[in-house]
Amino acid sequence: DLPFSIICGPCQLESLDHARMLAERIAEACAATGTGFIFKGSYDKANRSSLQGKRGLGADKGLEILSKIKDEFGVPVITDVHEPSHCAMAAEFVDILQIPAFLCRQTDLLLAAGETGLAINVKKGQFLAPWDMQNVAAKVASTGNERIMLCERGTSFGYNTLVSDFRGLPTMAETGYPVVFDATHSVQQPGGNGTSTGGDRRMVPPLARAAVAVGVAALFIETHEDPDNAPSDGPNMVRIEDLQPLLAKLRAIDTIQKG
Amino acid sequence: DLPFSIICGPCQLESLDHARMLAERIAEACAATGTGFIFKGSYDKANRSSLQGKRGLGADKGLEILSKIKDEFGVPVITDVHEPSHCAMAAEFVDILQIPAFLCRQTDLLLAAGETGLAINVKKGQFLAPWDMQNVAAKVASTGNERIMLCERGTSFGYNTLVSDFRGLPTMAETGYPVVFDATHSVQQPGGNGTSTGGDRRMVPPLARAAVAVGVAALFIETHEDPDNAPSDGPNMVRIEDLQPLLAKLRAIDTIQKG
Amino acid sequence: DLPFSIICGPCQLESLDHARMLAERIAEACAATGTGFIFKGSYDKANRSSLQGKRGLGADKGLEILSKIKDEFGVPVITDVHEPSHCAMAAEFVDILQIPAFLCRQTDLLLAAGETGLAINVKKGQFLAPWDMQNVAAKVASTGNERIMLCERGTSFGYNTLVSDFRGLPTMAETGYPVVFDATHSVQQPGGNGTSTGGDRRMVPPLARAAVAVGVAALFIETHEDPDNAPSDGPNMVRIEDLQPLLAKLRAIDTIQKG
Amino acid sequence: DLPFSIICGPCQLESLDHARMLAERIAEACAATGTGFIFKGSYDKANRSSLQGKRGLGADKGLEILSKIKDEFGVPVITDVHEPSHCAMAAEFVDILQIPAFLCRQTDLLLAAGETGLAINVKKGQFLAPWDMQNVAAKVASTGNERIMLCERGTSFGYNTLVSDFRGLPTMAETGYPVVFDATHSVQQPGGNGTSTGGDRRMVPPLARAAVAVGVAALFIETHEDPDNAPSDGPNMVRIEDLQPLLAKLRAIDTIQKG
């Protein structure tokens, strides 16, 4: 088993300075706790609840920022892609491509991502069972690229609510691919705020501890210095100052779980 | 209130002759029951459960078939689009564009569809509440195109199962846009057959009757002369010979409901 | 097929005069629309959301009222029972015993009810699948009493919400027992008001029409002259003056469905 | 915080010798891992899926066994009660009364249990939200008895499936009452085997680890020396030889979580 890692960063990339500031503080928290660090940032939020939601910096600026963070901090970087034609472009700048949950059945996107040869983190659709991800992974693997990660991010449970079914983690692990738990989007309340998505960041630490106790390769957590004023997913992001103590506990649980 | 209509055809377009044969039989059933007829066919199944599922004829052949059906039968035709760049192309051949449920939050697709000026039938994501469709419709309407239809096609209910919440029909109707009930995909059991989607076509007639009794502008029903050997959605499609008696009952219920 | 019937009355019995007033108005609406009428009233609400909820008149007063309504109006009467020891007592006054949804798996209650020889209306638990009701019915039938009705009243769907899965009606009908749809409790929002159950009475007519279009033996509807001030289930009860036009539509749909 | 404890025993009491054998082996596992031990056994399974399911030894024999285990092993014992009239009787033999999930809204049962003055473990109904348990606890507390435990045992999720929503543990803990996680019944597949309840015992250890990492006062686990031949809940019970290694991990996670 590899050392415990987090995929961490803001929801949206806001500026190079902002990304640098967060990357520095995340790197400190990871170093202090022996946690691996993969920097995450989105350059385009292509499926906001409403048109009023901010879309992001766009591919040019966003990918440049990710590339600089990668060089300056010496960490792998990940971003999400929404159309087949974006995969090759993004692949020139990042180490891992992420397939959004809503798009996890779009064959062309999975194939285009797989063909880049990068590692691919596929989020499980809110509408899919854990065992259905085998077919999703097979689409990527058909390109000859087996560097696949499967990511749980909550399942539809009534309206405007997701539930994290932790049985899904060992079930997805039966594919042989590493499993990631997204502790940020799992606490979303989709559409819960009328024209935006709500959530409850207080639930991130307990669900993160649960996931690590069940057993995961990595944890996906979004963080921000001022989540309540972040351009997206504010209700779900962890305050940057809360990250290190959370990681310390997660690391200790991970050691027991894998021990 | 407009006369009761159906959006009807095979799941996948198979050939011009096949489309013609079905269109002819559907047109007969509609004429005999005073039902409006919009012909539906897909040229690309972009999100099959697994790679083994057949994709379809492709845009060139598929759109040509739709265009011929439109001319020969004098009926409006509808097809689904999966990427923003396809909207303008498809719009040259069809009367209505359909947004697939998984893609109903993809802003660029909704905008590109809206900008064609065609009527747009947006399927409600299995992961969305009925009231969340207002934000979805607003994305299309932001293009100045208010020719929007909202379509219920089942909501995630546990794993590998959908449920039709008929409260969603009047809730979506509060937007002022016409509401369609998709009686075919609502009875899907997504992923229920391992590498393909299951379903139970025996439930199509009762759910179709329920929807019409609640009140809808149109019903979406896929049909086939041999559903068990159809390339997709076979378990859910109605046999073509069962269509006319079903329509007769639906038409009678519609008259009472709207009377 | 029998003539279409309703099981109708207030949620809680309030007084003899109140029961009489409602019974008279329901009887008029039924007579005007050719609908069969079974009077329903509860004498004890044994599972209110909170202690503050009113329990009811108690068995002595309640059963006496039911008995008088039965005699004065010449209609069958139904009430719900909560403990095995109450069945025989209640059976002296009423024609049909009802098993509450939460208690539909309690073997002793089902057996005691069955042993009275009365018709038994078993509500499907919010936590059960339609096909699970076969085992429930078999418990009653083991007493030699096959006068069983199975009643859909909503299924858990996330938190504080129920959904009506209309596929459940034909599925339960496969048992051979008549199926009832409870249009009142199906629109409950359990616990939705903090210390009481919420609901949305505007959804009663569309769901009632849906159920009749699917096909049911009877419909269960609670009614009140002033639902907003009723001691229980106010948010879900239909205003008594709205009953007759609703029944007229339902009757017409029933005729088509069974025709 | 108290030392970590388990509520553990067979689903059904089978005989005094059997209970003794299990109690001895559980006590050993608890002693070896510093885990508190409360012995659990049911004398009556009052809500089996079907009539064919075994009911149990009955109150006389069952309570006598519990009483002997209590004396011989010096551990508290717990059993479940199903009717108000059983509470006082059972209270003479056991230390904790348990309210079954289906019955957690039955006011008379909650009051009769509370009035015994014993500690009461109330299982959350599969149909209730975590925050709804406040009203349930208030019913017990109205008797002056505040010795209340709230127990998560899975929530309805589609048909024949439960999901464990671990956000429910901190939510229920906001009441101030200790929270228990039932790792056995949470993995049930109610009605999943046609006339009996299925389940997946492989999911017990991951869900138990998750619950302890989230934070609980105690864990409820059923165990058996030969689960596949146990009279009830066989698919979900942990093999007795697997208990000690599981407890060792849970204890270590508990120390980190509470540390």
| Chain C neighbors of D130, CB-CB under 8 A | 159
Partners of B214 on chain C (C-beta within 8 Å) are: 206-207, 209-210
Least confident of A203-207, C187-191, D32-36: C187-191
Q: Above 70 in pLDDT, residue D229?
A: yes
Cβ within 8 Å, pair B206-C170 = yes
Interface test with D, best of B159, B189, B200 (most D CBs within 10 A): B159
Q: Do B46 and A108 touch (CB under 8 A)?
A: yes
How many CB atoms within 10 Å of residue A115? Answer: 17
CATH superfamily, domain A5-258, is Aldolase class I (3.20.20.70)
Neighbours of chain C (3+ CB pairs under 8 A): A, B, D
Q: pLDDT per residue over B204-253, tens digit each? A: 999 999 999 999 999 999 999 999 999 988 889 999 999 999 999 999 99
Interface test with B, best of D161, D165, D188 (most B CBs within 10 A): D161
Q: Which tops the pLDDT comparison, A87 or A235?
A: A87
Q: How far apart are CA D131 and CA D139, in angstroms?
A: 14
> Which candidate in C161, C162, C165, C203 is best for mutational testing of the A interface (most A CBs within 10 A)?
C161
Nearest CA in chain C to B171: C203
**pLDDT score recorded for residue B2:** 65
* CB nearest D166 (choices: A207, A249, A257): A207
Residues of chain A contacting B129 with CB distance shorter than 8 Å: 159-160, 191
D51: confidence class by pLDDT, cuts 50, 70, 90: confident
* CA of C168 vs chain B CAs: smallest distance (Å): 10
Question: pLDDT tier at D217 (50, 70, 90 boundaries)?
Answer: very high
Among chain C residues, the shortest Cα distance to B255 is held by C253
Q: What are phi and psi of C137, to 5 degrees?
A: -60, -35
Asked whether residue A213 carries a pLDDT value surpassing 60, the answer given is: yes
Domain residues of chain A, as ranges? 5-258
| pLDDT value of residue A1 | 53
Compute the average pLDDT of residues A205-227: 97
Whether B102 and A107 lie within 8 Å, measured CB to CB = no
The reply to whether residue A252 touches residue D256, judged by beta carbons under 8 angstroms, is: yes
Any idea which of A233-237, B82-86, B91-95, D65-69 has the lowest mean pLDDT? A233-237
Residues on chain C touching D159 (C-beta within 8 angstroms): 129-130, 155
Q: Distance (Å) from the C-alpha of residue C83 to the closest C-alpha of chain D?
A: 8
| Percent of chain B scoring above 90 in pLDDT | 85
Distance CA(C139)–CA(C122), nearest Å, equals 11
% of chain B exceeding 70 in pLDDT: 99
In this structure, are strands C96-99 and B218-224 parallel, antiparallel, or unpaired?
A: unpaired
Q: Which residue of C has its CA nearest to D108?
A: C46
Per-residue pLDDT band for D2 (boundaries 50, 70, 90) equals low
Per-residue confidence band for B192, with pLDDT thresholds at 50, 70 and 90: confident
Mean pLDDT computed over every residue of chain A: 95
Query: Residue C213 corresponds to which tokens in the numbers above?
Result: 């279009």
- Please tell me the predicted confidence (pLDDT) of residue A233: 84
A155 neighbourhood in chain D, CB within 8 Å: 163
**D interface mutation test: which of C122, C156, C185 has the most D CBs within 10 A?**
C156
CA atoms of A111 and A107, how far apart (whole Å): 6
- C-alpha span between C7 and C220 (Å, rounded): 5
Quote the percentage of chain A above a pLDDT of 70: 99
Distance CA A153, CA A163 (A): 9
User: What is the per-residue pLDDT for C234?
Assistant: 86
Q: What integer pLDDT is reported at residue A198 of this predicted model?
A: 82
Whether residue B161 and residue D158 make contact (CB cut-off 8 A), yes or no, is yes
- Rounded distance, CA C102 to CA C82, Å? 10
**Tens-digit pLDDT string for chain C (259 aa):** 567 999 999 999 999 999 999 999 999 999 999 999 999 999 999 898 888 888 899 999 999 999 999 999 999 999 999 999 999 999 999 999 999 999 999 999 999 999 999 999 999 999 999 999 999 999 999 999 999 999 999 999 999 999 999 999 999 999 999 999 999 999 988 887 777 788 889 999 999 999 999 999 999 999 999 999 998 888 899 999 999 999 999 999 999 999 8
Can you give the pLDDT at residue C86?
94
Per-residue model confidence (pLDDT) at position A205: 97
Residue of chain A minimizing CA distance to C156: A158
Interface touch B212/C213, C-beta < 8 Å = yes
pLDDT tens digit sequence for B33-54: 999 999 999 999 989 888 888 8
Q: Do B105 and A102 touch (CB under 8 A)?
A: yes
pLDDT tier for residue D100 given thresholds of 50, 70 and 90: very high
Taking residues D85-112, report their average pLDDT. 97
Query: How do residues B98-117 score in pLDDT, each as one tens digit?
Result: 999 999 999 999 999 999 99
pLDDT recorded at residue C129: 97
pLDDT digits (tens, 9 = 90+) for A91-110: 999 999 999 999 999 999 99
More confident residue, D33 or A194: D33
- Partner residue facing B164 (CB), from C166, C249, C257: C166
Task: Give the closest-approach CA distance of C166 to chain B in angstroms.
Answer: 7
Identify the contact set of chain B against chain A, taking CB-CB distances under 8 A: 46-51, 55, 82-84, 102-103, 105-108, 125-132, 135, 138-139, 142, 155-156, 159-160, 190-191, 195
D120 has a pLDDT exceeding 80 = yes
List the single residue in D with minimal CA-CA distance to C105.
Answer: D47
A158 to chain C: which residues are within 8 Å by CB?
Answer: 157-159, 161
Q: Mean pLDDT, to the nearest integer, of D42-47?
A: 92
Asked if pLDDT for residue A195 goes beyond 90, the answer is: no
DSSP symbols for chain B: -PPPEEEEE-SB---HHHHHHHHHHHHHHHHHHT-EEEEE-BS--TT-SSTTS---S-HHHHHHHHHHHHHHH---EEEE--SHHHHHHHHTT-SEEEE-GGGTT-HHHHHHHHHT-SEEEEEPPTTS-GGGHHHHHHHHHTTT---EEEEE--EE-SSS-EE--TTHHHHHHTTSS-EEEETTGGGEETTTTSSS-EE-GGGHHHHHHHHHHH--SEEEEEEESSGGGSSS-GGGPEEGGGHHHHHHHHHHHHHHHH-
Q: From B126, which residue of chain A is nearest by alpha-carbon distance?
A: A127
In angstroms, the CA B177 to CA A9 distance is: 40
A54 has a pLDDT exceeding 70? yes
Dihedral pair phi/psi, residue D55, rounded to 5°: -85, -35
Using a CB-CB cut-off of 8 Å, the residues of chain D touching C82 are 106, 108
Distance CA C246, CA C8 (A): 13
Chain D closest-CA separation from residue B12 CA (Å): 30
* B210–C211 C-beta distance less than 8 A: yes
